[in-house]
Amino acid sequence: IFSLDLGGISTVVLNGYDAVKECLVRQSDVFADRPSLPLFLKMTKMGGLLNAKYGRCWTEHRKLAVSCFRNFGYGQKSFESKILEESFFFLDAVDTYKGKPFDPKHLITIAVSNISNLILFGERFRYDDNEFLHMIEIFSENIELATSAWVFLYNAFPLIGFLPFGKHQQLFKNADEVYDFLLRLIERFSENRKPHSPRHFIDAYLDEMEKYAADPNSTLSTENLIFSVGELIIAGTETTTNVLRWAIVFMALYPNIQGGRLMPSYRVSWICTPAVPIMRGSHHPCAGFLSRRHCLGEQLARMELFLFFTSLLRRFHLHFPHSTVPNLKPKLGMTLQPYPYLICAEKR
């Protein structure tokens, strides 16, 4: 265990299983907070869900989000069919390229974000909805800007926030634009709301706001609703999208494993196990998150990854155009994403 001073930000580094378990499991309450970084204070005022301080604000929003993910998401028996339905929209969009090269990032991002949209808004967005596409592009840009040198300097020396130039200023401008758009979405999807009969996350949040309206200490507010919706969209989209983008890269890199010999493994395992030989080996599951802030959408992400990926491989054979292999080095940022690449998807 040792500590570093990163531009005025005190950072403690843990090494080894015992130290990490002591921190994230045995003393999870002590280490569940978020640092009051100038960036977080500027962007969300330490409210919302992901960057909230460990206290009533985080507890209220976390409890509500978990409940909504169960009631409107993976807790529904029909939700798997909704993900499958979205995968068909995704496959049809891929098919429009007729085997010609294209960058799959755009289509994957919209498809994955639509699963979160079903929980948050009760509806999906069309692949040609320019307003929503623009918001997703801004989210992606902010993911990259948040790890820029200018933002690091801003966290260390907040006074540079008064400078009219720098990437941190673009980050703030983008955030204001996104928050305005999210407010319009919230107003649009709450127009026909019936109290105590929530259809999605926004309705459930507004019900809770009314319930605790007389409580001066309540952290439920329109501002925190905007922050929470934005954070859930970006958290539910960016990670799953990048996993699928990496999966497509490696499928195209090794086209021989996309053949018919693999097709039995795409079937429902409990139906085919007695009849189809299946190779089994050691499996060492690694938890995606520990501590009290573990990922609330992990179960949903697993469903999305399996259904989107297998549906894609069942319909298309993937390869790089003209056998050109893209840059396989990861692009460092808040997430580990591949550099942009082109892919060809030919119908089987």
Q: What is the DSSP string of 53-93?
A: -TTHHHHHHHHHHHHHHHHHTTTSTTHHHHHHHHHHHHHHH
State residue 336's pLDDT score.
Answer: 85
Helix, strand, coil abundance in the chain, percent, nearest 5: 55, 5, 35
The confidence score (pLDDT) of residue 174 equals 92
3-state class of 21 per DSSP? Answer: helix
Shared domain check, 269 and 136: yes
- Residue 15 and residue 48 in one domain: no
> In sequence order, which residues have a C-beta less than 8 Å from that of residue 290 and are 6 or more positions away?
20, 24, 25, 28
Same domain, 15 and 141: no
Q: What is the pLDDT along the chain (348 residues), one digit of tens a residue?
A: 889 887 767 888 989 899 988 888 888 888 888 888 888 888 888 888 888 888 899 889 999 999 999 889 887 778 899 999 999 999 999 999 999 999 999 999 999 999 999 999 999 999 989 999 899 889 888 888 888 888 888 888 888 888 888 899 999 999 999 999 999 999 999 998 999 999 999 999 999 999 999 999 999 999 999 999 999 998 889 889 999 999 999 999 888 877 655 555 444 443 333 333 444 444 444 444 566 777 888 888 999 999 999 999 999 999 999 878 888 888 877 788 899 999 999 998
295 and 164 share a domain? yes
For residues 6 and 116, state if they share a domain. Answer: no
User: 240: Cβ–Cβ under 8 A, 6 or more apart, which residues?
Assistant: 112, 301, 304, 305
Identify whether residues 15 and 59 lie together within a single domain. Answer: no
Instruction: Evaluate whether 209 touches 127 at the Cβ level (below 8 Å).
Output: no
Same domain, 178 and 59: yes
Q: What is the pLDDT of residue 245?
A: 95
| Residues 59, 92 within the same domain | yes
Rounded Cα–Cα distance for residues 266 and 226 (Å): 39
- Residue count of the chain, please give it: 348
113: Cβ contacts below 8 Å, ≥ 6 apart: 125, 136, 233, 236, 237, 241
Q: Are residues 73 and 17 in the same domain?
A: no
Q: According to the model, what pLDDT value does residue 143 have?
A: 85
pLDDT for res 290: 62
Q: How many domains does the chain have?
A: 2
CB neighbourhood size of 230 (10 A): 24
Is residue 226 domain-shared with residue 284, that is, in the same domain?
yes
pLDDT at residue 283, rounded to an integer: 45
**C-alpha to C-alpha distance for 330 and 328, rounded to whole angstroms:** 6
- Taking CA atoms, 333 is separated from 35, 261, 327, in Å, by 19, 37, 16
Same domain, 154 and 290: yes
CATH at 332: 1.10.630.10
Rounded Cα distance between 106 and 111, Å, is 9
Bridge partner list, 338: 330
Structural domain span for residue 256: 34-347
Q: What's the distance, Cα to Cα, between the start and end of the chain in Å?
A: 53
Distance CA 305, CA 301 (A): 6
Predicted pLDDT of residue 325: 86
Let me know whether 147 and 170 are in one domain: yes
The Cα 146–Cα 24 span in angstroms is 25
d(CA 119, CA 201) in angstroms, rounded, equals 6
CA 83 to chain CA centroid, nearest Å: 15
- pLDDT of 268 reads 41
